[in-house]
Amino acid sequence: MKFMIINKKLVLVISIVLIILIILSIYLSVFKSKEVFHEDIYYKGIKDDKIVAFVCNVDWGNEFIDDMLYIFNENDINISFFLTGRWAKENPDIVKDIKYHNHEIGNHGNNHLDYSQLSYENNKKEISTANDIIKDIVGIKPVLFGPPSGAYNENTLKAAKDLGMAVILWSVDTIDWRNDSTKELIIERVIKNIENSSIVLMHPTENTVKALPEIIKYLFENNYKIGTISDVIQ
């Protein structure tokens, strides 16, 4: 009888622990989904076609942008350049050149900050200030916002939404800004992870310029088109 009582208590304890673990698992799963697949954010496009979007975030790297524009022009490609307001203000001629070559211009915030730490008011100010600067230069206000380092909070999302902007992240990261990112590594990161409607993130770096011709050749040989964010989310 004592043995049975102990077993019943043990079963009860185990059952309670299992219930707690199941509830915790469900909670974490839902929480993770909200963080990683938030409905107000595009991590990739929505077209089930063999087209990918290239995104180049710019807050530095002026010396490599001409080479990138030349490569894209030679291959009849238009991509999306996301610019910080402070960079655009200091480099209006490059911004005009990007627009002249019919590339899409997005907003990368006014300053390259951690937007996940900003209030609603500061998020909105940073985004709208960059919008105003870019519009003053090329006459068009961006409708796409790419937060620096992919950092955001609910204030960021609300501010962008209130400004009528879509928030753009990525599904393929070249990690080309890191010192150990060689041409070969950049190519491998793209080729290994590419799929329909991928958003490929890059920056104006020396090794990106070296890698681009081979990446473009691979994508074209595999029947992919390369375009802008608007090409994959419309």
Tens place of pLDDT per residue across the chain (234 aa): 544 445 666 656 566 766 665 655 544 444 333 333 456 799 999 999 999 999 999 999 999 999 999 999 999 999 999 999 999 999 999 999 999 999 999 999 999 999 999 999 999 999 999 999 999 999 999 999 999 999 999 999 999 999 999 999 999 999 999 999 999 999 999 999 999 999 999 999 999 999 999 999 999 999 999 999 999 997
DSSP at 196: T
Q: Check: CB of residue 181 under 8 Å from CB of residue 33.
A: no
**Residue 17 has what pLDDT?**
60
pTM strictly above 0.85: no
Q: What is the DSSP letter of 137?
A: H
List strand residue ranges (DSSP E) for 102-195, in order. 104-107, 144-145, 166-168, 172-173
Q: Spell out the residues 6+ positions from residue 165 whose beta carbon is closer than 8 angstroms to its own.
A: 107, 127, 142, 143, 144, 145
Task: Identify the pLDDT of residue 28.
Answer: 43
Supply the DSSP symbol for 176.
T
What would the two tokens of residue 26 be? 């469900």
pLDDT of residue 121: 98
Question: In the numeric block, which tokens belong to residue 217?
Answer: 């050749």
The confidence score (pLDDT) of residue 21 equals 58
